[in-house]
Amino acid sequence: MFRFAYNEFLYLLFGIPVLILIYIVAYQFKKKAIRKFGNLSVISQLMPDVSYIRPHLKFIILTFALIILILAIAGPQFGSKLKEVKRKGIEIIIALDISNSMLAEDIKPSRLERAKQAILRLLDKLENDRIGLIVFAGDAYTQVPITSDYAGTRMFLSNINTDIVSRQGTAIGKAIRLASNSFTQDAESNKAIIIISDGENHEGDAIQEAEQAHEKGIKVYSIGMGSPDGSPIPFKGSYNQKEFLKDRQGNVVTSKLNTQMLSQIAMAGGGKYYYATSTNVGLNKLFDDLNKLDKVAIEAKVYSEYEEQFPALVWLALGLIILDFIILERKNKWLKDIKIFNI
């Protein structure tokens, strides 16, 4: 397994494009200054030892050396030993609604983005628990299998949007069924499913699926995203302008939170329903309830030792710096007349 020990240093890489832009601007100013003295082709004959390629080559070499040094500072590591450890926790699968109605903006910035932010905050609170992620609209799909890798879950979560599913709808029943079958088999840990949805255009037998999950010892919780008053569903028009979804009669469609359905699902699943607002997603209360579940030892495979890889990168960067030092900006008087490509 590969990782960086100090990920925060990787933000320094954003300075590389700025450095390249500064170099390009400075080079253009330099050319403009030379043109004041006359035609470039004539001036170049008066400066036979000047190289127009070597400064660019030296800059490219130094840029690569800087990138490699930043990567070295970030502490690249390879996991060398894999061992099984036992941690006390529970297994949680989050089923996130990504139907178009989740784009409604009655909860800022939108129902979906607010839900994703809530999941990130939940991940920050988890320690030894295992988590999985399912997305659903007209059908349900596993996005992240049950895992202890919170960093990987964050990465997958950031890429979730309403465009990754082809069929619209709100198939909560399918999501609960898929989640129930996605937990670790024969594990004695307590299990919980968290449904995050507005309940709009509900399909299937979600209540029955929640009851069956509860019979298996799985608790089903639900978080309602949206307002009972409803909100229009935005989308980008043909010219990227903001428009709202309309029905066949030309009326703007209003998406309303189905509180009753989500409450019934949570009740059937032996869990609780939480109502999300613009300032509160009910996350603290949910986390407190999850902590009340008995935590048992869960086996997990983790890398116990990591081998540092930064020395190799430092030596490579040092070699590039030495190469830059050897290459002069002016042509070598002994080599300038050698033209290996001329016959």
Report the range of poorest mean pLDDT among 64-68, 177-181, 303-307, 309-313: 303-307
Q: Is the torsion defined by CA of 165, 169, 172, 178 positive or negative?
A: negative
Contacts of range 199-202, beta carbons closer than 8 Å, 24 or more positions apart: 199/170, 199/172, 199/224, 199/257, 199/258, 199/259, 199/261, 199/262, 200/99, 200/101, 200/170, 200/226, 200/255, 200/256, 200/257, 200/258, 201/99, 201/101, 201/169, 201/170, 202/170, 202/172, 202/258, 202/261
Res 341: pLDDT: 44
In Å, what is the CA distance from 120 to each residue of 104, 212, 233? 20, 29, 24
pLDDT in tens, 264-297: 999 999 999 998 876 566 677 888 888 888 776 5
In the chain the domains, ranked by start, together with CATH numbers, are 2-75+309-326 (no CATH), 83-300 (3.40.50.410)
pLDDT tens digits, 113-122? 999 998 998 8
pLDDT digits (tens, 9 = 90+) for 207-233: 999 999 999 999 999 999 988 888 898
pLDDT of residue 298: 59
pLDDT-derived band at 330 (thresholds 50, 70, 90) equals low
Q: What is the pLDDT of residue 89?
A: 80
Q: Indicate the pLDDT class of residue 52, thresholds 50, 70 and 90.
A: low
115-144 tens-digit pLDDT: 999 899 889 888 888 899 999 998 999 999
Which pLDDT score is estimated for 67? 92
Q: Which of 175, 179, 167 is nearest to 140 (CA)?
A: 175
Asked whether 119 and 157 are in contact (CB, 8 A), the reply is: yes
> Comparing C-alpha atoms, which of 315, 208, 308, 206 is closest to residue 262?
206
Nearest to 331 by CA among 38, 48, 7: 48
170-188 mean pLDDT = 88
Judge whether residue 241 has pLDDT over 60.
Answer: yes
Interval 2-34: pLDDT, tens: 777 788 888 899 999 999 999 999 888 877 776
**Does the global pTM surpass 0.85?**
no
Angle between helix axes 150-158 and 111-125 (nearest 10 degrees) is 170
Average pLDDT in the 169-193 region?
88
The predicted model gives 39-50 an average pLDDT of 61
